[in-house]
Amino acid sequence: MLQRLALLFGFLLLTVGCAEKGDGPILSSGDRYAAADIAGDYRLGVGDKVRMTVYNEPNLTGEFWVNPDGTLALPLIGSVPARGMVVADIARDATAKFADGYLRQPKVSMEVITFRPFYILGEVSAPGEYPYASGLTALNAIATAKGFTPRANRDVIRIRRQGEASEVNYKLTPELVIYPGDTIRIGERFF
């Protein structure tokens, strides 16, 4: 009887340990651990805001949100696809559309002024949605959410990139980078 109890207790500990680690390996290297400047090849998504400047056309210049359908509603030319595109490509498309019967030799530039928010859940003092700041690390995101709770696992965090179906486990280090739209989950430690 005592052996069965010991075996059951060992199995429960193993199950709890595996459940806390999550599915899959714990990554400690890769693109999230490199100093990354997302501005150059950043792909737009719902919740991003861009500033479009049309040279010598103040009525066409302005700030525009990426709509829930993944488009930008721009003056004169209407909806322009934006989800998953780089701002330089969108500016090039807008230039071509403005040149097609609206403006002579238009010069259009575009930049991201507000990135979509990130989300943090689990064992932090203030879980929720927070504005993204360029260069955000996992530790900065946790600090934004008012830090760990006393039961938080401070070694491994789970991140789900926007548009992906599953979370990935990452070793929590000062270099771990967060991207706009990420959902971060801080698990609970058991011992």
Residues 106 and 120 in one domain: no
In SS3 terms, 41-55 reads as CCECCCCCEEEEEEC
Question: In the predicted model, is pLDDT for residue 83 greater than 90?
Answer: yes
Residues 184 and 135 in one domain: yes
Residues 29 and 76 in one domain: no
Give the SS3 label for residue 16: helix
Residues 108 and 143 in one domain: no
Residues 180 and 124 in one domain: yes
Residues 28 and 121 in one domain: yes
User: What does DSSP say about strands 78-81 and 152-160: parallel, antiparallel, or unpaired?
Assistant: unpaired
- Of the pLDDT bands very low, low, confident and very high (cuts 50, 70, 90), residue 15 is very low
pTM: 0.77
| Burial (Cβ within 10 Å: 0-12, 13-18, ≥19) of residue 33 | middle
- Of the pLDDT bands very low, low, confident and very high (cuts 50, 70, 90), residue 12 is very low
Query: Is 1 a domain residue?
Result: no
End-to-end Cα distance, the chain: 27
Task: Report pLDDT digits (tens) over 46-69.
Answer: 999 999 999 999 999 999 999 999
Residues 70 and 128 in one domain: no
The pLDDT value given to residue 2: 52
In SS3 terms, 74-99 reads as ECCCEEEECCCCEHHHHHHHHHHHHH
Report the number of distinct structural domains present in the chain. Answer: 2
Higher pLDDT, 106 or 33: 106
Any bridge partners for residue 114, and if so which? 49
Query: Is 5 a domain residue?
Result: no
Q: Look up the CATH number of the domain holding residue 121.
A: 3.10.560.10
Going through the chain in order, the beta strands assigned E by DSSP cover: 26-27, 49-54, 62-65, 71-74, 78-81, 108-114, 118-122, 128-130, 152-160, 168-171, 183-188
- Of the pLDDT bands very low, low, confident and very high (cuts 50, 70, 90), residue 13 is very low
CB 111 within 8 A of CB 49: no
The boundaries of the domain holding residue 158 are: 22-38+116-188
The pLDDT value given to residue 24: 73
Residues 89 and 125 in one domain: no
Could you give phi then psi for residue 41, rounded to 5 degrees? -115, 25
Domain boundary among 70, 89, 114: 114
Task: Report pLDDT digits (tens) over 17-50.
Answer: 444 445 678 876 777 777 656 656 789 999 999 9
